[in-house]
Amino acid sequence: MELELLQGSNSKSPSKLSPIGKALIYTTGGLAVGVSIICIPFVSPALRKVCLPYVPATTEQLAGVTKALSGRSGRLLDVGSGDGRIVFTAAKLGFKADGVELNPWLVYYSRIAALANSEYRGAKFYRRNLWTFDLKPYENIVIFGVEQMMTDFEKKLLEETKNNTVIVACRFPLPNMIPVETIGSGVDTVWKYVVKR
């Protein structure tokens, strides 16, 4: 009887959470899942052949890409375009610049940034897999790749690009093509290649 009285006097059941408690659990759980999804390409080398990790371009890398593209014009594709920095830099240089990116949040961010600035309104961002994206329309291609994918990407470039297409590789070089110019050093190195048929 005493046990029943004690249970009856406790008006809140220990198994019920307040709306704030539930919101905190859902928020922290959602953040944990989001961080895990974002971090997977960084920690899993097997996935690096499928998708590129997001690492923003440095000021030095942007300067290297700009130098490599000096005197060029036409259509440009940034492979793994991330937050759109390369595409926006290329648009300022007069290119018809596009980006292809798998991460939907980065694509949305880039599209909004392009709409917000009249200088970038011609830029387009595609949420596609780079392995199925057609490279044929582009005379200039920029890639911030990872070592595990560069051999396969080089094959794709050689199959799909036209004569005199300029390829600018950042962070990792293409394994078999010989660069016509190397700009910078360390992580800021940029390699310029020209496709010759």
Say whether pLDDT at 14 is over 70: no
Q: Which of 90, 91, 105 is nearest to 37 (CA)?
A: 105
Q: What does residue 99 show for φ and ψ, rounded to 5 degrees?
A: -130, 145
Close Cβ partners of 195 (under 8 Å, ≥ 6 residues apart) = 157, 158, 161, 162, 163, 164, 165, 166, 167
Query: Do 33 and 69 fall into the same domain?
Result: no
Query: Do 168 and 97 fall into the same domain?
Result: yes
- CATH number of residue 129's parent domain: 3.40.50.150
Evaluate whether residue 54 is within a structural domain. no
Query: Do 69 and 44 fall into the same domain?
Result: no
Number of domains comprising the chain: 2
Burial of 138 (0-12, 13-18, 19+ CB in 10 A): buried
Q: 33: domain range?
A: 2-49
> Residue 13 has what pLDDT?
47
Query: Do 140 and 77 fall into the same domain?
Result: yes
Element (H, E) at 159: helix 150-160
Query: Do 89 and 161 fall into the same domain?
Result: yes
Q: Which of 122, 58, 59 is nearest to 88 (CA)?
A: 122
Query: Do 90 and 154 fall into the same domain?
Result: yes
Helix (H, G, I), strand (E, B) or coil at 37: helix
pTM: 0.73
- The single-letter DSSP state of residue 147 is G
Say whether pLDDT at 52 is over 60: no
Say whether pLDDT at 158 is over 80: yes
Say whether pLDDT at 138 is over 50: yes
CA distance 191 to 184: 9
Work out whether the CA dihedral 41, 75, 159, 155 comes out positive or negative. Answer: negative
Which tens digit of pLDDT belongs to each residue from 64-85?
Answer: 999 999 999 999 999 999 999 9
Query: Do 92 and 10 fall into the same domain?
Result: no
